Amino acid sequence: MALNIVIMAAGKGTRMKSALPKVLHKLAGRSLLQHVLNMTEGLAAQRSVVITGHGADEVEAAVAAPHLSFVRQMPQLGTGHAIQQAVPALEGEGTTLILNGDVPLIKQATAQRLIEACDGRALVLLTIHLSDPSGYGRIIRQDGKAEGNVLGIKEHKDATPEERAIREGYTGMMAAPTGALKRWVGQLNNNNVQGEYYLTDIVAMAVAEGVPVLGIAAPNETEVLGVNSPVQLADLERRFQREQAHELMEAGVRLADPARFDLRGQLQCGQDVEIDVNCVFEGQVSLGDGVRIGANCVIRNASIAAGARIHEFSHIDGEKAGGVKVGAGALIGPFARLRPGADLGDEVHIGNFVEVKNSSLARGAKANHLAYLGDATVGERVNYGAGSITANYDGANKHRTEIGADVHVGSNCVLVAPISIGAGATIGGGSTITKPVAAGELSVARGKQVGIAGWTRPVKKR
Ligand code: UD1
Ligand code: MG
């Protein structure tokens, strides 16, 4: 049976007080709308239609995908009016699932339940029992009984005081028989307090036609909460982060404090991984067995092998998936910065205030203090001294530095690329190296020390 999915995302989101369309605001690093779209991927719909309006160009550009189509609703005259615009895009006589672009945490299992209960025949409403259902459309049931047949939905603003006392609200999500839905939305009017075309008025039409109407309760509040304001966005963010943190802990990851953990993407963890407080993970991150992450690290698109230790306040940014690699048993930080293309072998040590970009360091290489390695290939066991840098940029182009195995680079050296330093060579501290260094030699390139005996310091003139 054909499945259509319609996602309403035309609303303005006035209460966000933002120039960005509401559905593009981010939760855990992804837009609200993208959360909904990702959830629908597993539902195998024949058609997925996003209704856009406010900021339509921006919204469509942000989420465009081959399987998605867009329908524009201008102006926005209500949810019923929104679905009217989508009618020509709907296929077949099966089921149409209606979701909201600003309700990001709806789960696939719940959507699946709506689809199955609809089965192309029934009108299925996802409902929620709330202690304060203000603003929600109320589910009107026969004789006001919890198990009574659904008779209709009354919008909050149109509801009587008695109806407002009903705690069961409509979540804004439903599954409807496609053919009937098209017919019903064609019959809507805007004779109501808000002068809008209410999609929720189709419920009474279904009842009048004898079409079965089911109200299914959502499994929890988090799945159906919408975002209308920065406060609500932050609340959902925390709920989502708590959920992710709990899943990781269930899988054995030891989080020092699940309330101080943020994951904006995917985190894969081996056994006995420990993560201290205030760490942020973004994009695709993998942590091997026994990896320990110190407090206040930001780690994005990186794979960190077993036993590596990332000390406090380190910033690892791979830019793209797999962009930074840290080998087994490596020690990073505190205060280290690994940038895109940093590829560190096993047992590499990167200490405080060391920046590594687009460089590979082979097993056992060390750069422990205040250094820069950019566009470099560093051999095994190299010791790269404090304050040394690769001068990789001539103002126009980037050049590479090759450092052979067992090289010792003293402190405060400038290696002017392109340059190569042969295996086992030694670079004297304070050298500016502009010519290739042969294997095994000592290279010193700095002013010779001069000693002037009996030197009298200048004295202040009166
Ligand atoms: C709607 C429901 C209400 C339900 C509530 C749940 C109607 C008439 N009412 O009310 O029963 O309890 O959601 O949150 O449906 N949208 C458009 N075009 C429009 C208007 C809205 O695309 O012309 C989109 C919005 O962007 C949003 C969704 O539809 O994603 C819901 O719109 P909103 O204005 O929030 O509806 P409510 O009045 O809250
Ligand atoms: Mg709303």
| Residue 460 to residue 462: CA distance in whole angstroms | 6
Give the architecture (CATH level 2) of 3-224.
Alpha-Beta Complex (3.90)
What residues contact 61, with CB distance under 8 A and at least 6 apart?
none
pLDDT, tens digit, for every residue of 260-312?
A: 999 999 999 999 999 999 999 999 999 999 999 999 999 999 999 999 999 99
| Nearest ligand atom owner, CA of 24 | 1
CA within 13 Å, CB half, 62: 23
Ligand 1 in contact with 11 (CB < 6 A)?
Answer: yes
pLDDT less than 70: residues of the chain: none
How many whole angstroms from 102 Cα to the centroid of ligand 1? 10
Asked whether 282 lines ligand 1 (CB < 6 A), one says no
Tell me the CA–centroid distance for residue 137 and ligand 1, in Å: 10
Taking the CA of 139 as reference, the closest ligand is 1
The reported pLDDT for the residue numbered 462 is: 87
Q: How far is the CA of 25 from the centre of ligand 2 (A)?
A: 15
pLDDT in tens, 36-89: 999 999 999 999 999 999 999 999 999 999 999 999 999 999 999 999 999 999
Residue with tokens 């198990």: 147
Q: Is 369 a catalytic residue?
A: yes
What is the predicted pLDDT for the residue at 1? 86
Taking the C-alpha atoms of residue 136 and residue 213, their distance in angstroms, rounded to an integer, is 19
DSSP string, 247-300: HHHHTT-EES-GGGEEEEEEEEE-TT-EE-SSEEEEEEEEE-TT-EE-TT-EEE
Q: Is 21 in the pocket of ligand 1 (CB under 6 A)?
A: no
Query: At 71, phi and psi to the nearest 5?
Result: -130, 135
Please tell us whether the domain made up of 230-443 is placed in CATH 2.160.10.10.
yes
The answer to whether 116 and 173 have CB atoms below 8 angstroms apart is no
- Per-residue pLDDT at 311: 98
Domain with CATH 3.90.550.10 in the chain: 3-224
What is the C-alpha to C-alpha distance for residues 303 and 310, in angstroms, rounded to an integer? Answer: 12
Q: Is 81 in the pocket of ligand 1 (CB under 6 A)?
A: yes
* Distance from Cα 329 to the centre of ligand 2, integer Å: 50
Domain with CATH 2.160.10.10 in the chain: 230-443
Of 25, 35, 349, 369, the active-site residue reads 369
Q: Is there an atom of ligand 1 within 6 Å of 76 CB?
A: yes
